[in-house]
């Protein structure tokens, strides 16, 4: 019995999420249907905005390359980011020094650490710094330099030079997208380079990202997935992604779905 369009659709989108592209002839073989049937499926998915057809197959859409403002991003999947921030903060041990890059999820980590006087936080993020100055009882170090008004962070050579002076216990990295093919990506090249530097200056790199980031590729690569040790995400992350990451020896921690206001 042949699969329905909805069943084929689910498999096509899953493969697209993991590999970034699909081929007509490969799909025809997988589903044991004609190439014409697959092309009609791809036409339909393109009309739905799920992919973009190219010669011989289809690729992911790239609308995700347009980055929302920091304020808008902070409101997107906010409950999930809160729960991720709570779980990520619980990983920080007494006396540790950590790096937080410029992201709305790392901002939630900072909020969860506000009563931790035994922790040192280093960040290039103005929102994270502002949050720390309000309530944080530990030590805060700003990786300064020229601050980009667009990014609300310092990403220039001075920030890189300052980070070269440190070796920390954990770096919490945010991302614009996560792809099996393209790795961890960010919208802005300078922010991607700064996050990569943070990964180089830590004993353990931990990615914090809600489920909407999986299967997405944005403009600039931070690092391949194999270069992180752990991902902290929410229950919306699919089992298929968890299994794929575990095969890369990347541990996946799932936050609680219960979030207090």
Report whether pLDDT(66) > 90: no
pTM: 0.78
Q: Where in the chain is the domain with CATH 3.40.50.1360?
A: 70-254
Say if residue 69's pLDDT is above 70.
no
b/e 176-206 (16+ beta carbons within 10 angstroms → b): bbbbbebbbbbbbebbbbbbbbbbebbebbb
| pLDDT tens per residue, range 186-231 | 999 999 999 999 999 999 999 999 998 988 888 899 999 999 999 9
Q: Which residue intervals of the chain bear CATH 1.10.10.10?
A: 5-61
Range with top average pLDDT, 68-77, 107-116, 141-150, 174-183: 107-116
Between 64 and 53, the higher pLDDT residue: 53
Quick one: pLDDT at residue 68?
Answer: 54
> Bigger pLDDT: 259 or 233?
233
* Per-residue confidence (pLDDT) for residue 71, from 0 to 100: 56
CATH of domain 5-61: 1.10.10.10
Per-residue pLDDT for 101 more than 60?
yes
Tokens in use for 67?
Answer: 């980055």
Strand ranges in the chain using DSSP code E only, listed in sequence order: 21-23, 52-54, 57-59, 97-100, 120-123, 139-142, 147-148, 153-154, 168-173, 177-179, 183-186, 202-208, 220-223, 230-233, 251-254
Pairwise pLDDT comparison (3 vs 258), residue with the higher score:
3
Tell which CATH architecture fits domain 70-254. Answer: 3-Layer(aba) Sandwich (3.40)
**What local confidence, expressed as pLDDT, does residue 186 receive?**
92
Average pLDDT, the chain: 89
Strand partners, 204: 170
pLDDT band at 21 (very low <50, low <70, confident <90, very high): confident
């Amino acid at each position: 019995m042949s699969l329905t369009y909805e069943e084929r659709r689910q498999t096509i989108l899953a493969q697209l999420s993991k590999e970034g592209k699909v081929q007509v002839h490969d799909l025809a073989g997988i589903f044991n249907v004609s190439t014409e049937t697959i092309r009609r499926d791809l036409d339909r998915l393109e009309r739905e905005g799920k992919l973009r057809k190219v010669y011989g197959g289809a690729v992911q859409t790239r609308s995700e390359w347009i980055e929302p403002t920091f304020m808008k991003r902070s409101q997107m999947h906010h409950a999930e980011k809160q729960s991720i921030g709570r779980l990520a903060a619980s990983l920080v041990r007494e006396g540790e020094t950590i790096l937080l890059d410029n992201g709305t999820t790392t901002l939630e980590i900072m909020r969860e650490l506000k009563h931790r006087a035994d922790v040192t936080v280093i960040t290039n993020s103005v929102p994270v710094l502002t949050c720390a100055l309000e309530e944080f009882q530990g030590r805060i170090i700003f990786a300064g330099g020229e601050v980009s008004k667009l990014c609300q962070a310092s990403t220039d050579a001075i920030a890189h030079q300052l980070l070269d002076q440190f070796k920390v216990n954990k770096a919490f990295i945010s991302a614009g997208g996560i792809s099996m093919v393209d790795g961890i990506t960010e919208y802005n090249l300078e922010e991607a380079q700064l996050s990569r530097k943070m990964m180089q200056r830590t004993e353990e790199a931990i990615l914090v990202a809600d489920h909407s980031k999986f299967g997405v590729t944005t403009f600039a690569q931070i690092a391949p997935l194999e270069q992180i040790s752990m991902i902290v995400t929410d229950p919306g992350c699919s089992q298929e992604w968890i299994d794929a990451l575990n095969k890369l020896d990347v541990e996946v921690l799932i936050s609680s779905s219960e979030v207090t206001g």
